[in-house]
Structure 1
Amino acid sequence: MEGVIALMRSVPVSTKPGVVLPRISARRSSPYISTNFSKRDVCLIRAQQLDSREASATVPPPPPPVSDSQDNALKLKEWEVGRLKEEVAATQGITIRRRPPTGPPMHYVGPFEFRIQSEGNTPRNILEEIVWHKDVELAQWKEKKPLVSLKKALGAAPPTRDFIGALRAAQQRTGLPGLIAEVKKASPSRGVLREDFDPVEIAKAYEKGGAACLSVLTDEKFFQGSYENLAAIRNAGIKCPLLCKEFIVEAWQLFYARTKGADAVLLIAAVLTDLDIKYMIKICKILGLAALVEVHNEREMDRVLGIDGIKLLGINNRNLETFTVDISNTRNLLDARRTEIIREKGIIVVGESGLFTPADIAYVQEAGVEAVLVGESLVKQPDPALGIANLFGKDISV
């Protein structure tokens, strides 16, 4: 049954001339239904259509205050733009909704503003829940750290390292896929993986064991990670290039990752449209970041192979909607036609999830994988460096 959330209209209500009552609001407890709209986030598609020169320019100041009627129009336009983006995503096979489909925000009865709450405002799966939470989280972060301040902070950021070059060098040295070892405390499907979690010590053990690169989880709510972990590993003198493992939905996150010492970022095709991916790859080039574009089904694979500029393609054997794992997914996606496209474009394929034994590594390598991203089977080991040797069936340390 549909419920109704009533909110006081933002216009102050007065019962007597010259007397203005304080604003009162009633909010649903769910974090996914935002009752406050940011004027700076209205034209989402316009921001993604910026070319690389516009993206590197100074962000303009916020617009001047608007009247109540203008504010209402902006909110309605924001909803319309969001709906348009959802329609575009649907044509590309994307089922993950970026925000709850709350409908147009304005329904008035007297001095009250109503918003309709329905079953459609419940996340369909864990990935959608993560993305909805990320949208709320980002609104809070951007208030504290506007993009203009991040751009100023770039001058103090350490230089990026060659993430792709490190993977190629490791493969040439060992004859095995280059290893991206993941610093990961927990996951939604497995819970806490390591109680005595020290991100810097784990990173050092990975580097000692022969990892070419490291992946650092930065999502806090669902994976108990943080950008502080990323920065701490970078500042500890770890030489391995670092991948910021985050659920990226806005370019702001790319800048933030760069200021925290990232050398590469993850872009998930199950969440991002082709336009999103193209735009973010442009920003990554400006920032010197490598982009690992991740797919987990045939539709996503073909979409990504049709986008120019991709150099790292991750095949996730975990279905991000159900979290089930099947490593045969890698072989199924790497058929002869797609393998030829990958070869022509010089793309490195990264196998992800479900890799626990030397046999697993051999299986995805035979399918055409040149690098692997492994977290759970390593971070749970008392000695992660020894865990790497056990995973590959031999010592791959330098």
Structure 2
Amino acid sequence: MNILEKIIARKQEEISESKKHRTISDLEKEPLFSRPTTSLAAALRSSTTPRIISEFKRKSPSKGVINGDVQPQIVTRDYVNAGAVGLSVLTDTDFFGGSFADFLAAREANPLIPMLRKDFIVDEYQLFEAKSIGADVILLIAANLTPSEIAHLSRRAHDLGLEVLLEVHNAEELAVSTGEHIDIVGVNNRNLKTFETSIETSIELSELIPDQFVKISESGLQDAETIVKLFQYGYKGFLIGETFMKTANPGAALAGLQQDLTQHSNLNPLVL
């Protein structure tokens, strides 16, 4: 059993337990459930420069604890002040050290910015959870869902007013997973089975993603040169977590990258 299979097996157990304690009706009564959502896809589509989706992540299966001494409300507010177009907050506890509490703290600190619930969505129940904590976007990972499951979950997400980020890792997943209820296609440069990263994955898939979808690149992104290169391949957004979170001040790390991107555009005016 690889790490992804272990995560999904544990996720199924978590969902079963959660359903015993809180019904969908309970989730619908949460104050944030009726909150109007903010479009991440629209913010990315209208941008003429590379935009960063900054992630709050305490740990990962491949790296262990990345940064255990940070507060989500502080880090995410710093991200927004540094120019993040959106926020991604992990809610998986066992493997990534996240929680609903982290998401809610970030949401309260940043009421207007689009926020992605970063988790392993395998059940419709989780969509209602996402809406109840104030998420704007949910993640569907093609590697652990069938095409029919993706179609069903994406449609139900849209019914709830949530945008859908579909994550793919190869051409095969892309070919069978996209549909009318997908808003953003994210290419994960990390192989979820080996956890190795390569931006060549984004380059190879760039021309295969239909223009109707906003394209973002995820994982293994650390420098302005790489981001600008992928922007030239049509990627509008760049989801970055570990690069920032491994520093003492993640918000300052984003600000530094933004400055590098600006300098790169000044030196290469035709690039952006």
TM-score by length of 2: 0.91
**Residue 183 (structure 1) aligns with:** 56
Letter of the 1:148 partner, please give it.
S
> C-alpha displacement at 1:235, in angstroms?
1.7
Partner of 1:310: 182
Distance 1:155 1:214 in 2: 17
Q: How much does 1:236 deviate?
A: 2.2
**Can you list the C-alpha shifts for 1:248-307, whole angstroms capped at 9, x where unaligned?**
0000000011101101100000011111111111111111111000000111011124x2
Kindly name which structure, 1 or 2, has the bigger radius of gyration based on alpha carbons.
1
- Secondary structure of 2:144's counterpart equals coil
Aligned pairs (5 A) from 1:41-52: none
The residue aligned with 1:367 is 233
Partner of 1:125: 2
Which residue of the partner structure matches residue 243 of structure 2?
377
Structural mapping, 1:247-262, within 5 Å: 247-262=120-135
Displacement of 1:228 after TM fit? 1.3
Aligned: 1:197 with 2:74? no
The CA deviation string for residues 178-203 of structure 1, in whole angstroms up to 9 with x for no partner, is 21100111101011111322111000
Give deviations 1:66-87, integer Å, cap 9, x for gaps. xxxxxxxxxxxxxxxxxxxxxx
1:215 and 2:84 aligned: no
- Greater RCO, CA 8 A, separation 6+: 2
> Are 2:11 and 1:134 equivalent residues in the alignment?
yes
Equivalent in the alignment of 2:269: none
Distance of 1:269 and 1:366 partners within structure 2? 25
| One-letter amino acid of the counterpart of residue 129, structure 1 | K
Q: Secondary structure at the match of 1:201?
A: helix
- In 2: Cα distance, 1:311 partner to 1:237 partner: 22
1:324 counterpart letter in structure 2: E
Displacement, 1:232?
1.4
Question: Post-superposition, which runs of at least 4 consecutive aligned residues in structure 1 deviate over 6 A?
Answer: none
**Whole-angstrom distance in 2 between the partners of 1:394 and 1:317:** 20
Deviation at 1:385, TM superposition (A): 2.9
**Structure 1 residue identity aligned to 2:56:** V
* SS of residue paired to 1:270: helix
TM-fit CA distance, 1:155 = 7.3
List alignment gaps of at least 5 residues for structure 2.
264-272
CA drift of 1:156 comes to 5.2
Are residue 356 (structure 1) and residue 222 (structure 2) matched?
A: yes
The alignment partner of 1:249 has SS state of coil
Contact 2:147 / 2:177 at 8 angstroms: preserved in 1?
yes
CA distance in 1, matches of 2:216, 2:249: 24
Q: 1-side partners of 2:109 and 2:256: how far apart?
A: 26
Tell whether the 8 Å contact from 2:33 to 2:134 is kept in structure 1 after alignment.
no
Q: Is the 8 A contact 1:216 1:242 kept in 2?
A: yes
Residue 395 of structure 1 and its aligned partner are, at CA, apart by 5.6
Q: Is the 8 A contact 1:227 1:257 kept in 2?
A: no
Q: What's the Cα RMSD here? A: 1.7
Please tell me whether residue 281 in structure 1 is matched to residue 158 in structure 2: no
Matched to 2:213, the amino acid is: I
Counterpart check, 1:290 vs 2:160: no
Q: 2:203 aligned with 1:326, yes or no? A: no
Question: Using the alignment, how far apart are the partners of 1:183 and 1:314 within structure 2?
Answer: 18
Identity %: 37
1:321 is displaced (CA, Å) by 1.2
Q: Does 1:168 pair with 2:41?
A: no
Matched residue type, 1:227: F
Q: Indicate the SS of the match to 2:248.
A: coil
1:273–1:200: structure 2 CA closer, same or farther, 3 Å change rule?
Answer: same
Instruction: Tell me if the contact between 2:117 and 2:138 (Cα under 8 Å) persists in the aligned partners.
Output: yes
SS at match of 2:74: helix
Q: CA deviation at 1:360?
A: 1.5
Give the TM-score, by structure 1 length.
0.63
- In structure 1, distance between residues paired with 2:169 and 2:51: 20
CA gap of 1:318–1:264, structure 2 versus 1, over 3 A, is same
Q: 1:156 and 1:251 mapped to 2: Cα distance?
A: 15
Please point out which of 131, 145, 153 is paired with 1:272. Answer: 145
Q: 2 CA distance for matches of 1:349 and 1:261?
A: 23
Provide the secondary structure at the position in 2 that maps to 1:363: helix
Q: Structure 1's 156 and 330: CA in aligned 2 closer, same or farther, altered over 3 A?
A: closer
